Amino acid sequence: MRKILTASVIILALPGAYFLLWPVPVDPVAWQAPVDRGYVDPYEPNDLLKSSTGIDLGDFEGPEDATLGRDGRIYVTTKSGAIVRIQNRGISEFVNVGGRPLGIETDQEGSLVVANAVTGLQRIDRDGVVTTLLGDLDGQPLENANNLGIGPDGVIYFSQSSTKFTAAGFGGSYEASLLDILEHGGHGNVYAFDQKDGTVENLMTGLNYANGVAVSADGSFLLVAETSHYRILKHWLSGELQGTTEVLIDNLPAFPDNIKNGLSGRFWIGFAAPRNRLIDQLSDKPFLRKIIQRLPAAARPRAEPFSHIIAINSDGDVLMNLHDPAARFPTLTGALETRDSLYLTTLFGHRLPRIKKHDL
């Protein structure tokens, strides 16, 4: 009888020991999440994206970012490493850069510059020749390069989302982002890379998942999305405030992703998912957040389907607020604005959403 009782105690104790002691990759840091006000002014839900349609990418998946090339074609980063070229809904692979290309921009010479989460910064010339611009930092491989902006002087500003949870080491950029968001350990950075002399300057450090980056047209400031702190930062590159950072928009209702320069001084921001109530409630309880990581993967917080983008001006005023309540294209990362359309980028799926401006 005593043996049976002992065995029963051990069996009952095992699950508790697992949830309390099993090693996990996260070491959560206590912080205080701002009270979630939800989707209130100026972020109220609407159906302005309901007329968007998807450009079929065939076998290509995860159109995370897009840029307008000097040839008038749209170039899109995808999960397989392929840079897809789109013209009049015709789809072709321009080149495969390997790794996981995320952010993409067109530089002054018409080449494409890519932030690759696995291999660093890359350039693709107009003939499709790929070169590595920056593959390491301080002797270490540059991993988790996420988004970028190119200044009028050719300096490339880019985010390194996390120095701890890398796409290559944790099953992909999305999977790594979930870990970094849960830990909230301040592993993100923003750098300036001067192509002329090869120097790299760390402009911002200690960010909680550094993500979208955009440069003002005159090169006087950067906008940066700090995803798991629900805010947009403004970092001054010149003027009296040079070198300082201010919070431009705080307490967003969702996780901000890419920031993209639009027309007429607009900046477009995509929201990957609404905020998670449980993660917010446990922001100051790191021990419980660690227990969450010990749950089965299907039971852990994930990105909820949602479709939401906004456009802001340089002062942080919301100029446009666009939703699709049906979330036909969920997990939007951002928007590329052309003269007549918005191309909506997303982490998942085989379609690139597009909406004509006259339908807004």
Residues 94-112 have pLDDT tens digits of 999 999 999 999 999 999 9
Q: Percentage of residues in the chain with pLDDT exceeding 90?
A: 87
Q: Is the pLDDT of residue 21 over 70?
A: no
Q: What three-state secondary structure class fits 162?
A: coil
- Answer for the pair 76, 349: CB distance below 8 angstroms, yes or no: no
Q: Which CATH number is 219's domain given? A: 2.120.10.30
The structural domain count of the chain equals 1
**The predicted structure's pLDDT at residue 360:** 83
Judged by phi (left if over 0) then psi (alpha if -120 to 50, else beta), residue 154 lies in left
Tell me which residue range forms the domain holding 135: 2-359
Instruction: Encode pLDDT of 137-196 as tens digits.
Output: 988 999 999 999 999 999 999 999 999 999 999 999 999 999 999 999 999 999 999 999
CA angle 175, 181, 183 (to 5 degrees): 105
Residues 129 and 265: their CA atoms lie apart, in Å, by 32
Residues 6+ apart with CB under 8 A from 167: 99, 100, 117, 118, 143, 144, 173, 175, 176
Taking only the tens place, the pLDDT of each residue in 235-282 is 999 999 999 999 999 999 999 999 999 999 999 999 999 999 999 999
Task: Give dist(CA 228, CA 208) in Å, integer.
Answer: 6
Residue 89 predicted with pLDDT over 50: yes
Q: Is pLDDT larger for residue 14 or for residue 240? A: 240
DSSP string, 86-108: EETTEEEEEEE--S-EEEEEE-T
Average pLDDT estimate for 59-79:
97
Strand, coil or helix: 7: helix
